[in-house]
Amino acid sequence: MSVKQLFDLTGQVALVTGGSRGLGLQMAEALGEMGAKLAITARKADELAEAKKHLEGLGYEVLTVVNDLQKTEDIPGLVDQVVERFGTIDILVNNAGATWGAKAEDYPDAAWHKVMDLNVSAPFFLSREVGKRCMIPRGKGSIIVTASVAALKGTPPGMNTIAYNTSKAAALHFARTLASEWGHYGIRVNAICPGFFPSKMASGLIEKLGPAMIERTPLRRIGGEEDLKGAVVFLASNASRHITGESIVVDGGASLI
């Protein structure tokens, strides 16, 4: 098999959560370019419609599903819609996430639960559903979790994102543990740890920290609109068929310092 064939995703079905904008849309673009049929889900119908128009304009086949992953009782229905349209799910990108900034001593209960529900519980419940219904019966599949460099260490002064950091560390260990349990089914589970990208979630911190953040990054830049594409295609495809339970850090080297 050639290297180009190893990266080819023609005919495979990819479900990307939080796929209407930001990192999720970037990863959907990459998977579609390599031939995957796309199912993207998010809470806001207008943003999904805009993303669908964009992706179809690039020539990709796209299904959109309005869904709030914090409502775990709706997860089977989400999978129903994707399977009804495409027949199966080969690639699952657990990308949807949330954050909340507050000092630990003042952190609201509701905020803690929101971050944990979306960043930890939802990827498990969705992976369980997709695994049971699509991947385990077919003996193959790739699950990718969007973690974060925030999983690797504490936060700089003033960031105050204890729930986010904790949840992303849990997401890393979720990927490792599920990879251990499901490897014998032929299912691979890996994580991507982005650094700062100009997304809606990170925009406030980028604006606040700005030049100081770039100065502390060895490559002297923050993430761009194409910097996750290679990583997600690699982990989704046969190019990484002997890799599971691992994480790829995409942060310009910021976590090295």
* Beta-bridge mates of residue 146: 192
Q: What is the DSSP letter of 221?
A: -
What is the CB neighbour count within 10 angstroms for residue 132? 11
Tokens 């996430």 belong to which residue?
A: 97
HSE value, Cβ hemisphere, 13 Å, CA-based, for 151: 24
Residue pair 154/170 in contact (Cβ under 8 Å)? The answer is no
What is the CB neighbour count within 10 angstroms for residue 172? 19
Q: Which long-range contacts (CB under 8 A, 24 or more apart) does 227-232 make?
A: 227/197, 228/23, 228/26, 228/27, 228/30, 228/192, 228/194, 228/197, 229/26, 229/27, 229/29, 229/30, 229/33, 230/30, 231/192, 232/27, 232/30, 232/31, 232/93, 232/144, 232/192
- Establish whether 164 is a catalytic residue: yes
* Beta-bridge mates of residue 38: 14, 62
Whole-angstrom distance, CA of residue 243 vs CA of residue 198: 29
Q: Tell me the CA distances in angstroms from 214 to 20, 206, 219, one per residue in order.
A: 27, 9, 8
Of the listed 60, 107, 164, 185, which one is catalytic? 164
Instruction: Cite the active site residues.
Output: 164
